Structure 1
Amino acid sequence: MAIRSHRTRALVAGALLWIAGCSEPETGPIVVSAIGGPPELVNPNLKRLDAASAFLIEAVGQGLVQFDATGQVQPALAQSWIVSDDGLRYTFRLARLRGPDGEPITAEQVTERLQAVMSRASSNALKSQLGVIEDIEAMTDDVLEISLKSPRPNFLQLLAQPEMGILLDGQGTGPLRIAGAADGAVRLEPPEGDEDDGAAEPEGPRILLRGEPAALAVARFSRGLADLVIGGTAGNLPIARAAEPDAAALRFDPVAGLFGLIFTSDEGWLAAPEVRRALSMAIDRTELVTALGVPELQPRTSLVPDGIEDLPQPGQPAWAADPLPMRREQARQLVETALEGEEPPPLRVAVPEGPGYRLVFAHLRRDWRAIGLRVERVAAGEAADLRLIDRVAPAALAGWYLRRFTCDRSAICDPEADRLLAAARIEMWTAGRQTLMAAADRRLTDATPFIPITAPVRWSLVSPRLTGFQLNAFSRHLPETLVAPAP
């Protein structure tokens, strides 16, 4: 069922009134509203990307490779690449493209930018996954080589993420360029051709990109003033539903990742693994997922989802197949035993703003009250016992999930799991790496540093004009893929 409330409908109605005063955009450019802050060409090594800034970097600061409309890796700065038979060396040949200074982009420049991602000072979101890289070396002006410590399936998916976009001197490397601002939006256009080469009129999409709150983005789309809304999550999904868009307009990408609760401390009554397991056991995931109303969305009890090549059979907790009433009774007993008759303190859960996230919290509060616990919602930045996290996986790699809970990143961890993951990083054989990953997964499943609920939700509003828009597993929608080429 669709999720609605008077408060959410009022929010959308107010935004529609505000948008009504806006003038119609000029015909031609594709108008994109990204939910979040204004688009900024930021350095991903220094600042995390929201939807608008990620789209901007993908448009004007491509990486070696990028995703096509279906989520498959395709050339970008690199026109081609070769992977060695042992899977340890990736040799990229750069396309003959020019940088912001008009000079050809060199392998040395790209190598320096990639090395910066892994530097000690970098806070790039992908840094922990790039520890498999042994070396990056410019071989010639237009050839560079990335050497790995061990073969890694789907390594190119990491390189295709916007966090791996190449910026030079704070400016992009294409395929589009920033051509100014209009009506509070950044204007993106294809670069001018080189007159010496007899270039014709530049070809490519023309985009007006703005970042704004979900209610304004949805209202703008509803009035026909935007062609695409991106950056939708479970938190703001009720805002989209309140506008009652056409069924064909509201699209859901089949993403994977982490959507659930992470524990913030290894002290107090939640330090006991059996108490953490009790909290996970008590959740009615089926009802919660049904309330979100997202097609194909499924409950999840495993830390790593199914379908990951280097972890074919992710571990399930021992209670996963038990019926809910049995799980709740066991959970109640575990909590009572851990507390030894004392009154439990309120369980503080940090949840981001958004009506969809509030809905998730309401289900959690009801489920945990059923085992005798008091639950309080606090703001995302406040002190809490658990925090709701909502992250899309950048690649189909088990390590992305498991390394989120190493002892240098998670309050609840298992040193032996860390050791197993370190061994998996340098294991040369696929079967050996799978065995090590499975052992680490089992230990973390038992430790319960995380309460999985389901997969992340990523939605877009798409106008009929965008004939090339396709759903994909990474929720990446590049400008040049939005309109299908004429037959």
Structure 2
Amino acid sequence: MRSAFRSFGGCVLGAMLGVLGGCSDHSAPSLDVVVIGAPTAAFEDGVRLPPAAQLVRGATAEGLVALDAQGRVIPALADRWIVTDDGLSYIFRLRDGLWRDGGAITGDSARAALRQSLAALQGTALAQEFAAIDEVRAMAGRVVEIRLIRPAPDLLQLLAQPELGLLRGREGAGPMALSREGNIALLSPIAPERLGLPQPQDWAAGVRRIRLFSLPGADAVRRYAEGGTDLVLGGRFETFALAQSVASLSRRDLRLDPVQGLFGLVAVSANGPLGEAAVREALAMTVDRDALASEIGVGGWAATTRIVATGAPGDLGTIGERWTDLALDRRRTEAAARIKRWEAGHQKFPKLRLVLPEGPGGDVLFARLAADFAAIGVPLERAAAGSAGDLQLLDIVARYAHPEWYLAQLSCAARRGICSAAADARLGEALAETAVDKRAALLAEAEAELTSANVFIPLGEPVRWTLVRGTIPGFASNSAGFHPLPPLAERGE
């Protein structure tokens, strides 16, 4: 089946000549969407999902709430909810709808599905973020209550994540149905009346099917340049240079999501020299972050030495950037001395293996870090993504921007690498504290413990980009870095 714009040869030619500003046909019967990833990524299952599979999960299995195009929480299986004054109970009124097998969406069935989703998260970093849930109860009819052991002001944002899409058996309740054509995911809007919702007049004329492809970065960008799609999602720092080469045809096409999160290095194992905090700090000290910012080439990209994003809600501001009183050459002199002291008590410093994703951004990052580490006598070699290494790039977007999210990602329970039991203890105390000022102080102490332990080498903010031709209804850059498919299925005017 031809894609929406393939019917318009002039648009394809215009894309190749860089003059395609407004050729996108919003009335076409389908929209082709390309997501950067492995060709079969859209069909992966589980709870550690690649971007394409997250989009499919979010489209085919709604949670109690969902995210809209702007990244805001909106009703999904629950059409309304209330939060008690003490913040310890969230009560959801479910819509009068049906599961895909025809069964009614009830409090009992939704409770079972939510428990199933929460149980599946065990052993992941996301599971920690739901640790405040004490009990899920089914109340009369179509009502579900989530009771908490402590207030969780970001609970709705978490429940809107695609991993919390609710399943009955192995199927969600929509709002889109999935079929497969080779490696293409075909997602068709389900008629509202089949979901138990009011159906507007001429509903079918206002929606379209989405054909979702998952392709490696270079192939995705090439397809866009050749007019094979109007939308590329899932861009990260390692493929940003590829997008720049195409966006030079029309600079309006490249959009950056204003995300926050963690972008830096974690020490995978405490074996060898990385088992010493002083050595890990030496590596953090020697990085020329200003040079890295210039070489990555992302306008406005801010380097950082902090774990928690400056200005995050609840951040007291008592912890600032590190080594601001030391020029880079003085930092490297101190770092080199630490490496020499380690060698004096052990052996020649071994070559460290750094695990990075493929792509021009990964090449730039490796070259920068290899030069920086060499300046203090530390040899570095590159390891492919998925292989064993000594250092691993951590590149994740914050699901919510509060300090506890950042600290939980580096906790011992997250199992990302070296961790700090002392920081975990402060984080646990903070999460149990109901007084806002005391909670903030404990979170600051937890960040100070993690900083002192040097379990993470921060570099800057994550990079998330998209290629968008013209104005596509249902698309908006957002701080979640997530672009749900159901809004994209609306034809617009």
Per-residue CA deviation, residues 247-278 of structure 1 (Å, 9 max, x unaligned), is 11111111111111000122322222111111
What is the aligned counterpart of 1:253 among 231, 253, 257?
Answer: 257
Moved more, 205-214 or 122-131: 122-131
Q: More deviation in 323-332 or 337-346?
A: 337-346
Structure 2 residue 394 is the aligned partner of structure 1 residue 392: no
Report if the CA contact (8 A) 2:42-2:185 is conserved.
no
Q: 1:318 Cα shift?
A: 4.6
* Matched-pair contact (CA < 8 Å) for 1:54–1:162: yes
Matches of 2:365 and 2:44, distance apart in 1: 32
- How many angstroms does 1:283 deviate by? 0.4
CA 1:39–1:429: 2 relative to 1, 3 Å? same
Contact 1:304 1:398 in 2 (8 A): yes
Residues 311-350 of structure 1 mapped to structure 2, 5 A cutoff: 311-313=315-317, 315-316=319-320, 318-340=322-344, 342-350=347-355
Report if the CA contact (8 A) 1:132-1:426 is conserved.
Answer: no
Cα distance in 2, alignment partners of residues 445 and 163 from structure 1: 30
Match of 1:51 in 2: 51
- Say whether the 8 Å CA contact 1:47–1:123 is kept in structure 2: no
* Equivalent position of 1:370 in the other structure: 375
Residue 367 of structure 2: SS of its match in structure 1? helix
Tell me the alpha carbon deviations over residues 444-486 of structure 1, each in whole angstroms, 9 at most, x when there is no partner.
Answer: 1000001010111111111214044211111111223347885
1:455 pairs with 2:461: yes
SS at match of 1:343: coil
Secondary structure in 2 aligned to 1:99? coil
1:93-124 deviation per Cα after TM superposition (whole angstroms, max 9, x unaligned)? 11222210123212222222222233377455
In structure 2, the partner of 1:20 is none
CA–CA distance in structure 2, aligned partners of residues 147 and 390 of structure 1? 32
Superposition deviation, residue 407 in structure 1:
2.8
Contact 1:301 1:453 in 2 (8 A): yes
Where do residues 85-104 of structure 1 align in structure 2 (5 Å cutoff)? Answer: 85-104=85-104
* TM-score normalized by the length of structure 2: 0.87
Tell me the distance in 2 between the aligned counterparts of 1:277 and 1:438.
Answer: 19
Q: Which moved more, 1:318-327 or 1:190-199?
A: 190-199
- The answer to whether residue 86 in structure 2 is matched with residue 65 in structure 1 is no
Match of residue 485, structure 2, among 466, 479, 485: 479
Following the alignment from structure 1 to structure 2, what is the Cα–Cα distance between the partners of residues 352 and 160?
28
Inter-partner Cα distance in structure 2 for 1:193 and 1:94 = 15
* Corresponding residue SS for 1:301: coil
Q: 1:405 to 1:192 in 2, by over 3 A?
A: closer
Match of 2:366 in 1: 361
1:280 aligns with 2:284: yes
- Give 1:29's aligned residue: 30
Displacement of 1:370 in angstroms is 1.1
| 1:199-348 equivalences in 2 (<5 Å) | 200=201, 201-202=203-204, 203-243=206-246, 244-313=248-317, 315-316=319-320, 318-340=322-344, 342-348=347-353
1:483, 1:199 → 2: CA distance? 15
**In structure 2, what is the Cα distance between the partners aligned to 1:194 and 1:468?**
22
CA contact under 8 A between 2:208 and 2:490: conserved in structure 1? no
- Contact (CA 8 Å) 1:314, 1:441: kept in 2 or not? no
Q: Deviations over 1:366-412 (max 9, x none)?
A: 11111122111122333322111211111223222212222342542
Q: Tell whether the 8 Å contact from 2:65 to 2:73 is kept in structure 1 after alignment.
A: yes
CA distance in 1, matches of 2:487, 2:180: 22
Indicate which of 428, 440, 445 corresponds to 1:439: 445
CA contact (8 A) 1:126 1:163 kept: no
State which drifts further: 204-213 or 469-478. Answer: 204-213
Change (3 A) 1:285 1:253: same
Q: Give the Cα separation in 2 of the matches to 1:130 and 1:432.
A: 21
Secondary structure at 1:340 match in 2: helix
Q: Secondary structure at the match of 1:126?
A: helix
2:3 — aligned with what? none
Q: Distance in 2 between matches of 1:448 and 1:249?
A: 39
User: 2 CA distance for matches of 1:484 and 1:199?
Assistant: 13
- Report if the CA contact (8 A) 1:303-1:314 is conserved: no
Instruction: Specify the code of the residue in structure 1 equivalent to 2:68.
Output: D
Whole-Å separation in 2 of the counterparts to 1:383 and 1:40: 26
Sort the Cα spacing of 1:352 and 1:427 in 2 relative to 1 into closer, same or farther, 3 A: same
SS of structure 1 residue aligned to 2:87? coil
Amino acid at match of 2:467: L
* Equivalent in the alignment of 2:470: 464
* Structure-2 residue corresponding to 1:10: none
- 1:13-65 superposed Cα distances (whole Å, 9 cap, x missing partner): xxx9xxxxxxx99943111011113254555xx34111111111111111111
Question: How big is the shift at 1:131?
Answer: 0.7
Q: For residue 8 of structure 1, what is the aligned residue in structure 2? A: none
Displacement, 1:296? Answer: 2.1
Percent of paired sites with the same residue: 36
Matched, 1:187 2:186: yes
2:303 partner SS: coil
How many residue pairs are counted as aligned between the two chains? Answer: 462
- Report if the CA contact (8 A) 1:100-1:171 is conserved: yes
Question: What are the ranges of 5 or more consecutive residues in structure 2 without an aligned counterpart?
Answer: 1-15, 17-23
Q: Secondary structure at the match of 2:467?
A: strand
Letter in 2 for 1:214: G
Contact 1:302–1:314 (CA<8 Å) still a contact in 2? no
Deviation at 1:198, TM superposition (A): 8.2
